[in-house]
Chain A
Amino acid sequence: MRHHKLKVLLGLVAVAVLVGALSAGVGSAKSDRTAGPAAKQATYKIFLIPKFIGIPVFTLNGKGGKEAGKKLGDTVTYNGPTEASAAKQVPFIDTAVRQGYNAIVISANDPNAVAPALKRAQDRGLKVVSYDADAAKDARTVYVSPPDTQSIGAGLVEWVGSQVGYKGQIAILSATTTAANQNAWIAVIKKTLKKPKYKGLKLAKIAYGNDNDTKSAQETQALLQAYPNLKGIIAPTSVGLPAAARVLQQAKKCGSIALTGLATPNSMRAYTKKGCGKKFGLWNEVDFGYLAVYVAHAVLDGKLTGKAGESLVAGRLGRRTIGKNSTMPMGPPLVFTPKNIDKYHF
């Protein structure tokens, strides 16, 4: 019988420990919340849900979103699952509805799987804006997309061409053979190369580094060996570009081979300053979140309904216009050079 008392006691201790641990959890979580005294005067409450939290690009989206919220007097909450799973995004959508948020801004892991929850939200009067990765068309009002395929593909060719005098052999270091965005960019690159201006550039090979650092480096080395006259490399992947820069630096080929692509300035800073990858691009992830929240605010105001041709003035980004399919592109990508790279930190 003594044991029974002990057991009950143990259960109580367990509960006490848990409650203690849980309260500690709340304390550390406060930083996630933007709600504060200012929230009372806010005009709108906007919930920003990235594909998942914890990686720099989405954190920067959140930063931009909150900056826009401050400008507009809105409360912007940034939160989401820790894995890229649509199933894990849905509870965030549902609780945002119950919490009385006015709008949801989301980068969807699966356009269809989040759609029923987003439609439930719309039925309760919330407005939905998708950004980065679109949701099903009937589940959102506007989609804020990354810079369009055409301007990125054409940009990549120009960035490498201008470095080599528009003449010579070039190669592409891509991610995987199946990546939709990579293949779309490669198609534009091939089309652009047919233009008279770029006739002197010859595409020798497309290599695939699988968005893996080691494989990307190995593929770059193979390119150097197979094409001794190679003049330029285009690496439109944030993993491949720094890997290629590292290989070129080690092989002391930065002077003879021009490198361009897409990556964050932080990952390229050291190389770019030493002349490896003197011109490359990416869209500004802070501005991305900033624009998405501005669009959500305008949709709540009734100023944007998703029709082509509608426009808004998005704070420091200036006027932006909606195109086909209720889609508003981010505008042209940013171009980084040794001169301007220190202005950007992401």
Chain B
Amino acid sequence: MRRVGLGVLVRWETVLVLLILAVGVWCRSLSPLFLTRVNLLDLATPYIFIGLMALGLTFVIIAGEIDISVASILAVSVVVLGQIYEAGANIWFAALVGLLVATGLGLVNGFLVAVVGLPSLAVTLGTLAAYRGLAFLIHSGEGVASFPTQFTNIGIGYVWGQQVPVALLVFLGAAVALGFLLHATRFGRYIYALGANREAARYSGIPVTRARIAVFGLSGLLAGIAGLVYVGFFGSSRADAADGSLLDVVTAVVLGGVDIFGGSGSMVGVVLSVLLVAELRNGMQLDNIGGDTQNIVIGVLLLAAILAGNAIRALQTSGLRTRIARASKKEVVRTAGQAEGTT
């Protein structure tokens, strides 16, 4: 059964690669500036903080939950970082506290979901507003703007002959580490089992509560790391940081082939979709296509991707038995098999 699951992912990623190539051809026709080395290397830099949040959210969604508070968590960690640094502390200490706060806020989400037993959409809808409010409470106004270069390099620096953006390496590094965690560890298998069928996971001895809390903590941590890159790139630590970027984060995860109902998805897919969206925006901007039209194109892309994904999955799960199982909510059969494999 697992073999089939992986097969789906490989094929979905193939579609994404094809899309990246097709969009590349299209962007080349839009602007001759698209296919220059400077542009290609820098094309994703402004979107790295979104990509990092998407990597964290991937775990949450695969586990069958949702976390819409990530942008607000980023804002709190960014403001905390700014205030601590302004108070005279070492910037790296401030960054560490920012990461801890972000992880803590994520764990609070996890506690409310897994221990108190509230639905994650309701919980993170609440903390979406509450954390943003907290950020403004900690500091409203212009915030700190003069950070040392050695720190801002995380978001805005370049290495290897001033060619490769550090932020891109941070993103790819995080993706590799998290990809390993998701695809090659026991924890990762727990996450898939949770998303496919939580009850089955519980009965097969998976520490469900702990795993669910951990998933939200991880999402918070990634929002914190995204915050570091955000401060580095934009050089500003205001409470409205990353406001309005939530949709982009969710888009990246869903376009990456992660099933919004949980149980399937891959890190490579999410990375590819982040790059695809960045490429698309960059190409359209080079042609001065209006921001509203850009949104329409991205929206159509997302819808088409979901439709295509569904069609592919439907074809994959041929055979009456599986179809019935799927129709009755989750793929009980597959989950049971998967869960057994992990214990």
Number of A-B contacts (CB under 8 A): 153
In Å, the complex CA distance between A95 and B36 comes to 12
Does A125 belong to the interface (CB within 8 Å)? no
Does A331 belong to the interface (CB within 8 Å)? no
Report the minimal beta-carbon distance from A4 to chain B, rounded to whole angstroms: 9
B290 touches A115 (CB 8 A): no
B19 touches A15 (CB 8 A): yes
Q: Please encode chain A, from 27 to 64, with 1 for each CB lying within 8 Å of some chain B CB and 0 for all others.
A: 01100110100000000000000001110000000000
Cβ contacts under 8 Å, A165 to chain B: none
Q: Which of A22, A81, A110 contacts B291 (CB 8 A)?
A: A81
A98 touches B292 (CB 8 A): no
A25 touches B286 (CB 8 A): no
B297 touches A6 (CB 8 A): no
- Asked if A14 meets B288 with Cβ closer than 8 Å, knowing A111-B142, A116-B234, the reply is no
Contact residue range for chain B? 35 or more
- Asked if A98 meets B38 with Cβ closer than 8 Å, knowing A11-B15, A32-B288, the reply is yes
Does B296 belong to the interface (CB within 8 Å)? yes
Interface residues of B in 208-230 (CB under 8 A from A): 230
Q: Which of B143, B145, B291 has the most chain A CB within a 10 Å cutoff?
A: B291
Q: Which of A15, A17, A90 contacts B18 (CB 8 A)?
A: A15
The A contact surface, by secondary structure, is: helix
Report the minimal beta-carbon distance from B298 to chain A, rounded to whole angstroms: 10
- How many chain A residues touch B (Cβ–Cβ < 8 Å)? 50
- Interface stretch (choices B22-30, B98-106, B120-128): B22-30
Report the minimal beta-carbon distance from B142 to chain A, rounded to whole angstroms: 7
Cβ contacts under 8 Å, A84 to chain B: 244
The B contact surface, by secondary structure, is: helix
Q: Please encode chain B, from 226 to 242, with 1 for each CB lying within 8 Å of some chain A CB and 0 for all others.
A: 00001001111010111
Cβ contacts under 8 Å, B305 to chain A: 14
A115 touches B304 (CB 8 A): no
Does B159 belong to the interface (CB within 8 Å)? no
Does A225 belong to the interface (CB within 8 Å)? no
Q: Which of B19, B235, B293 contacts A28 (CB 8 A)?
A: B293
Cβ contacts under 8 Å, B307 to chain A: 14
Interface residues of B in 288-312 (CB under 8 A from A): 288-293, 295-297, 300-301, 304-305, 307-308, 311-312
Report the minimal beta-carbon distance from A97 to chain B, rounded to whole angstroms: 10
A115 touches B145 (CB 8 A): yes
A91 touches B308 (CB 8 A): no
Report the minimal beta-carbon distance from B291 to chain A, rounded to whole angstroms: 5
Cβ contacts under 8 Å, A316 to chain B: none
Report the minimal beta-carbon distance from A291 to chain B, rounded to whole angstroms: 23
Interface residues of B in 226-275 (CB under 8 A from A): 230, 233-236, 238, 240-245
Report the minimal beta-carbon distance from A181 to chain B, rounded to whole angstroms: 15
Given contacts A7-B316, A18-B300, A86-B234, 18 further A-B contacts (CB under 8 A): A6-B315, A13-B308, A14-B15, A14-B305, A15-B18, A22-B23, A26-B287, A26-B289, A29-B289, A32-B290, A32-B293, A54-B291, A87-B46, A87-B242, A98-B33, A110-B234, A112-B142, A116-B235
Q: List 11 A–B pairs whose Cβ atoms lie within 8 Å, in order of A's numbering.
A: A11-B312, A14-B308, A25-B300, A80-B291, A83-B243, A84-B244, A110-B240, A112-B236, A113-B234, A113-B241, A115-B236
Interface residues of A (CB under 8 A from B): 3, 6-7, 10-11, 13-15, 17-19, 21-23, 25-26, 28-29, 32-33, 35, 52-54, 77, 79-88, 90-92, 94-95, 98-99, 110-116, 136
